[in-house]
């Protein structure tokens, strides 16, 4: 089971956003795309943030655990949109594969 944790916390005039993935899906055939898909979404978010906000961003990717985190001004639409797109992609996977991926 792949477990996704999505956090948003307001700190003064900034928002700290974090998406974390834990676990692994033991599946064969079509279902083995779940971990790869979630990883691709998170790594794309990390690359996007690293290029634009290298000083307010953190990420780590190891087998079975990954996270992306960024703190930015509340009105930063670029960061907000990037996280929203990643969340929507992950939530779409949760709808399609509810036995394999879930949000905590």
Residues 6+ apart with CB under 8 A from 20: 4, 5, 6, 7, 65, 66, 67
What is residue 100's three-state secondary structure? coil
Pick the CATH number of 2-103 from 3.40.1190.20, 3.90.79.10, 3.30.420.40, 3.30.70.1490: 3.30.70.1490
Tell me the two tokens of residue 11. 């700190």
**pLDDT tens digits, residue range 12-28?**
999 999 999 998 776 66
Query: Per the structure block, which two tokens stand in for 38?
Result: 């979630």
pTM of model > 0.85? yes
pLDDT tens, position by position, 38-70: 999 999 999 999 998 888 889 999 888 999 999
Domain ranges within the chain, ordered by starting residue: 2-103
């Amino acid at each position: 089971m792949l477990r996704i944790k999505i956090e948003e916390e307001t700190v003064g005039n900034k928002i700290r956003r974090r998406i974390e993935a834990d676990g692994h899906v033991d599946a064969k055939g079509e279902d083995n795309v779940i971990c790869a898909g979630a990883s691709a979404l998170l790594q794309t978010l990390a690359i996007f943030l690293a290029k634009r906000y290298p000083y307010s961003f953190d990420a780590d990717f190891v087998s079975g655990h990954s996270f992306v985190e960024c703190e930015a001004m509340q009105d930063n639409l670029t960061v907000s949109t990037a996280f929203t797109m990643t969340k929507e992609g992950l939530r779409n996977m949760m709808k399609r594969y509810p036995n394999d991926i879930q949000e905590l």
